[in-house]
Structure 1
Amino acid sequence: MVSRLPVTGVEVVRDTIRYSGVSTPISEREGLGIRGLVPAAFLPLELDVERCMLQMRSKESPLEKYIYLHNIQDVSERLFYAILCKYTSEVMPLVYTPTVGEACQNFSAIYRGTLRGMYFSLEDSGKIRTLLDNWFTSKITTIVVTDGERILGLGDLGVNGMGIPIGKLALYTACGGIDPAKVLPVHIDVGTNNEENLNDPYYLGLRRPRERGQAYDDLIAEFFEAAQNKFGANVMIQFEDFGNLNAFRLLSAWQDKACTFNDDIQGTAAVALAGLLASNRLTGKDLIDHIFLFAGAGEAGTGIAELLALAIAEKGHLPIEQARKKIFLVDSKGLVTKSRLDSLQHHKVDFAHDVDDCPNLLAAIDMLKPTGLIGVSAIPNSFTKEICENMAAHNKIPVIFALSNPTSKAECTAQEAYEWTDGRAIFCSGSPFDPVTLQDGRQRVPGQGNNAYIFPGIGLGVLAAGSTRITNYDMLLAAETLAAEVGPEELDVGCMYPPLSRIRQVSKNIAIAVANQAHETGVATEQRPVDMGKYVESLMYDPFEEVDVHLGSKK
């Protein structure tokens, strides 16, 4: 928590991490100097949560609810996280996807001047290490950084993309128990090519075209080196929503130099793989028995494909090259094949197979007859009735994942996927969809392949072990752990993920597995505890636990 004792009541109120507002016991208010600064009544935290939920539910639009929740966070992080922990399934779609997409589009307009994260631009080159000293603590364990180029499926939003690191770190705390005093959202401002932003008089970022040259790489390198110098060599830095041009190469450049991963590539891959592993319990197939076809070949698509290939190779005792032959990609020019090698981006090359060319997704389905169709194209309605019907014609239980975010970019809806496959599809999505009741009365609950099932547990496991590196084997282990959390109740309604009400337990189990693996592979720097489960649990921030507000520690 915060290391020094505030000296005035006003400072206590402004210490948003620890301040509990009307949930501060009356007996403690005078000693804290806040008597007279808050109303006289005492509301237990549980009751204050209900008061706030009543107000939130009265708001008309998701964006209004988003703003209201973040106004609470600006005053009391404890109350904010108590709301998010108790009402995870209701509030998570407001704090993160899909509402965060609209919040990012309006970021400059709704910006409240709150101290929440740091902003570094090209104009700060050579000064980042000094600027990091402006942050209130050196005890940061977890950073999420974006350059705002590929925000969800919305594209280049520049500084307006800062809503994503803020939202992601809220989930690190709510879902994984990472101390909110030890997280840092970061935006690297290298300009934007979004004309709407550049023409907006209220846009808060650099007004210049996006930097593509050496100055960009130098700024990223300076940030990584400064962060490690300030916060320690094992500070975890998560890449978030970088464009395809930079995402893969930056991950490749830094994954052996820092404790880092790219959530769009690796986190998305792990949560999608978990859904596919869970689906095998309904299809009766092993991964090696499938043919997977991806609609979309960007960082999410090829990230999933690569982790899926690793899983096939490990489980089937195959060379990775042979495992990749079970996976096909369709991009904007059709099926990715060897005949296109000369023009392919590097991240698609390994999935360019020696098969006939197909001009589009439907033609590829007709030729390949895939058992699993995975949408990561950000092209809404691209899984048409004809495509879903073709998947159903080729498979008794077709696997259809429409993973693009936000909801407006989903390849199809849950209702469509079920109706067009006679209710036989296993459907998962990136954004939440409501349960569907079929014409025969059966209920289907679409699983949301939310990265929040993965990255908080990864972060917690890295923290528990003091890991210096994060690998694809960590992601594979996280996916397997998540898949094992899906119970008979979920399978009975076709849901491939556990309920969000259990997400903190899921994160804990992933963290235990990842931390143990870190010790076994030699990348851990912390002493291995006798009971990893108890140790991980001891690290988890819980807003409902009593805290000594004088010392910032659990009572």
Structure 2
Amino acid sequence: MNEELIIGIDRLKNPSLNKSTAFTSEERDKYKLHGLLPTAITTQDTQLKRVLANLHRQESNIARYIFLNSLQSRNERLFFRLVSENIKEMLPIIYTPTVGEACQEFAHIYQQQKGLTLSATNRGQIKEVLQNWPHKDVRIIVVTDGERILGLGDLGANGMGIPIGKLSLYTACAGIHPEYCMPVMLDVGTNNVSLREDPLYLGLTQKRIQGDEYLSLVDEFVQAVQEIFPKALIQFEDFLTPNAYALLEKYRKSILCFNDDIQGTAAMALSGVLASCGITGHAFKDLRLMFLGAGSAATGIGDLIKLALVAEGLTESEAVQRLWFVDENGLICKERDDLMPHNLPYAHEQPMLSFIGAINHFKPHVLIGATGVGGTFNSKVVKAMCKHNEHPVLLSLSNPTSRSECTAQQAYEWSDGNVIFASGSPFPPVTIEGGRRFIPGQGNNVYIFPGVGLGALAGDASIITDEMFLIAAKTLAKQVSKTELLNGTIYPDLDNILDISLLIAEQVATYVFEQGLNRSPQPGDIKKVLQDMMYNTIY
């Protein structure tokens, strides 16, 4: 429908067209809005001040989340201007850690549908359901089945908060128009008994479908997307590790897709490791790295670091010898008979060791946590790392905050301020004994996936490769300033996230064209293409 024909109350109810009190007198005449708004005409700047003041009146982050959710539903451009211009304050509210609580409470705080739910009951009709989506030129789809939401486990249909949040970040942090974005929940049931027994739960109240039945439903979705939205990038999000790997391996060479938990997390972590070398003085190719956790996130990081080490001149075998994994049962080694297929490349000829035993044996320079279990980097672990390193690097990446392997306060206090620390969820600045103050970095995937997605769109890529994430990691690491490195920070200022995303997108799009992965002719000026794609939040 022609947007100019949307008038009166319908225009005010349309979040992409609504300007509320900022409609001018002429616009109120044109769109028949007189009487439907207060008399005063205000600027968007004034609206922004009012919204911020009301946001700050909320007494908790979940209340702020609900407030912002409501704002997005009624005035899209004001919402995205608020988020993009206040990203440090808004990111913990619209995404980690608050989105974890929002997903847990999703059915209880539900107001209106923001994404597309594809139920197992829609089998054989997925294409028809996709066509119900109001926007016909979808370019970015974030999809989850809710089985492994952050470190919180199976939240079923409540996991819809994750795709909604991620796509908000695509717009706020990479300028992708919200009409190009579609959050999708694959509701295949839940094994969370408390959810199935909750009378307010909004998903299928049955156990999860599994095996071939599950895979065929996902395939119906993927193939339907190719037909209905042929330009769309599919981002798989928060799938259980075996399914995450199975789906990525099935589609990565033929469909425009990636898994953010595996590949986005890997690039974010690699970037922090690369940047840390500017503090420690170690050469990247000489590093020894240990992982606590051996799921999709940890092994995804290992895979990309292995690729980066090979690019530095190591053989694949030499690169693997620098990477050691420990899970809840101890060191990943060949004598174990309980390993998943994605663990096998990292199973070493080494007797079983405990976590502390492995640290003391291998003396890693970098310790990366991706366990989903809070408190696993205890004082003994931190002190063991300090025994072998002047400045050990600790990446405590599990989300939300309650699942972080350790807090920033603990890391700095237990190491006497010698650790180089970053976490998945934000922590406030820390002052330790002696008055030394530290600003912990946040290793958030928002540094990576919006830029990679934007670059894939600008290049009209046919597939997403691991090399694109390697490019993104290296580009991001170069954005950390000397001042930030001197302060022990290994990620750049989030206030620069749009510029960072544009830099990553430009490098990714350039790679797409150089490798012949583009589906349409190369434009003359990639920078101009990217600038022309930017969503304008100003009215």
Shorter-chain TM-score: which interval? Answer: over 0.9
Deviation sequence 1:123-178 (CA, Å, 0-9, x none):
00000111111111211100000000000000000000000000000000000111
Residue 345 of structure 1 aligns with an amino acid whose one-letter code is M
For residues 225-244 of structure 1, the aligned pairs below 5 Å read 225-232=223-230, 234-244=231-241
2: distance between equivalents of 1:488 and 1:318?
28
2:521 equivalent to 1:522: no
1: distance between equivalents of 2:137 and 2:34?
30
2:367 equivalent to 1:369: no
Residue 340 of structure 2 aligns with an amino acid whose one-letter code is Q
Shift of 1:90: 0.2
Aligned to 1:320: 316
Count of equivalent residues: 539
Shift of 1:300: 0.5
Shift of 1:4: 4.5
Shift of 1:23: 2.0
Aligned to 2:333: 337
Aligned to 1:286: 283
Q: Which of 270, 273, 279 is residue 273 of structure 1 equivalent to?
A: 270
The more displaced of 513-522 and 42-51 is 42-51
2: distance between equivalents of 1:391 and 1:542?
47
2: distance between equivalents of 1:378 and 1:7?
47
1: distance between equivalents of 2:2 and 2:29?
21
Aligned to 1:46: 45
Shift of 1:20: 1.4
Aligned to 2:444: 450
Query: In the alignment, is the contact (CA less than 8 A) between 1:443 and 1:493 conserved in 2?
Result: no
User: What secondary structure does 2:535 align onto?
Assistant: coil
Aligned to 1:21: 20
Aligned to 2:251: 254
Shift of 1:238: 0.1
Shift of 1:8: 2.8
Aligned to 1:426: 420
Shift of 1:256: 1.4
2: distance between equivalents of 1:85 and 1:432?
17
2: distance between equivalents of 1:15 and 1:52?
19
2:106 equivalent to 1:107: yes
The more displaced of 33-42 and 117-126 is 33-42
2: distance between equivalents of 1:309 and 1:139?
37
The more displaced of 191-200 and 40-49 is 40-49
2:348 equivalent to 1:353: yes
Shift of 1:298: 0.5
Identity value in percent: 44
Shift of 1:282: 0.5
Query: In the alignment, is the contact (CA less than 8 A) between 1:288 and 1:326 conserved in 2?
Result: no
Query: In the alignment, is the contact (CA less than 8 A) between 2:279 and 2:486 conserved in 1?
Result: no
Aligned to 2:468: 474
Residue 176 of structure 1 aligns with an amino acid whose one-letter code is A
User: What secondary structure does 1:516 align onto?
Assistant: helix
For residues 144-223 of structure 1, the aligned pairs below 5 Å read 144-223=142-221
Shift of 1:64: 0.2
1: distance between equivalents of 2:262 and 2:42?
44
Deviation sequence 1:413-448 (CA, Å, 0-9, x none):
111111111111100100001111232333211110
1: distance between equivalents of 2:335 and 2:279?
36
Q: Give the gaps of 5 or more residues in structure 2.
A: none
1:3 to 1:220, Cα distance in 2 relative to 1, 3 A: farther
Shift of 1:206: 0.3
2: distance between equivalents of 1:6 and 1:451?
40
User: What secondary structure does 2:136 align onto?
Assistant: coil
2: distance between equivalents of 1:485 and 1:168?
22
Query: In the alignment, is the contact (CA less than 8 A) between 2:484 and 2:490 conserved in 1?
Result: yes
Shift of 1:34: 2.1
Deviation sequence 1:84-111 (CA, Å, 0-9, x none):
0111100110000000000000000111
Deviation sequence 1:447-502 (CA, Å, 0-9, x none):
10000000110111011111110010000000000001100221121111111110
User: What secondary structure does 1:293 align onto?
Assistant: strand
Query: In the alignment, is the contact (CA less than 8 A) between 1:274 and 1:480 conserved in 2?
Result: yes
Runs of 4 or more above 3 Å deviation = 2-7
Shift of 1:271: 0.5
Shift of 1:542: 2.6
Shift of 1:216: 0.7
Residue 430 of structure 2 aligns with an amino acid whose one-letter code is V
Aligned to 1:552: none
The more displaced of 529-538 and 482-491 is 529-538
Q: Give the gaps of 5 or more residues in structure 1.
A: 547-555
Deviation sequence 1:256-312 (CA, Å, 0-9, x none):
121000000000000011011000001111222111110000010000011011111
Shift of 1:367: 1.3
User: What secondary structure does 1:494 align onto?
Assistant: coil
Query: In the alignment, is the contact (CA less than 8 A) between 1:426 and 1:494 conserved in 2?
Result: yes
Aligned to 2:58: 59
Query: In the alignment, is the contact (CA less than 8 A) between 2:151 and 2:372 conserved in 1?
Result: yes
1: distance between equivalents of 2:213 and 2:21?
49
2: distance between equivalents of 1:500 and 1:455?
14
Q: TM-score, normalised by structure 1?
A: 0.95
Query: In the alignment, is the contact (CA less than 8 A) between 1:464 and 1:526 conserved in 2?
Result: no
Query: In the alignment, is the contact (CA less than 8 A) between 1:17 and 1:77 conserved in 2?
Result: yes
2: distance between equivalents of 1:445 and 1:388?
18
Aligned to 1:553: none
Query: In the alignment, is the contact (CA less than 8 A) between 2:285 and 2:314 conserved in 1?
Result: no
1: distance between equivalents of 2:80 and 2:6?
26
Query: In the alignment, is the contact (CA less than 8 A) between 2:333 and 2:352 conserved in 1?
Result: yes
Q: TM-score, normalised by structure 2?
A: 0.98
1: distance between equivalents of 2:473 and 2:24?
43
The more displaced of 13-22 and 239-248 is 13-22
Q: Which of 273, 297, 303 is residue 306 of structure 1 equivalent to?
A: 303
Query: In the alignment, is the contact (CA less than 8 A) between 1:176 and 1:507 conserved in 2?
Result: yes
2: distance between equivalents of 1:223 and 1:337?
38
1: distance between equivalents of 2:520 and 2:428?
43
1: distance between equivalents of 2:42 and 2:305?
49
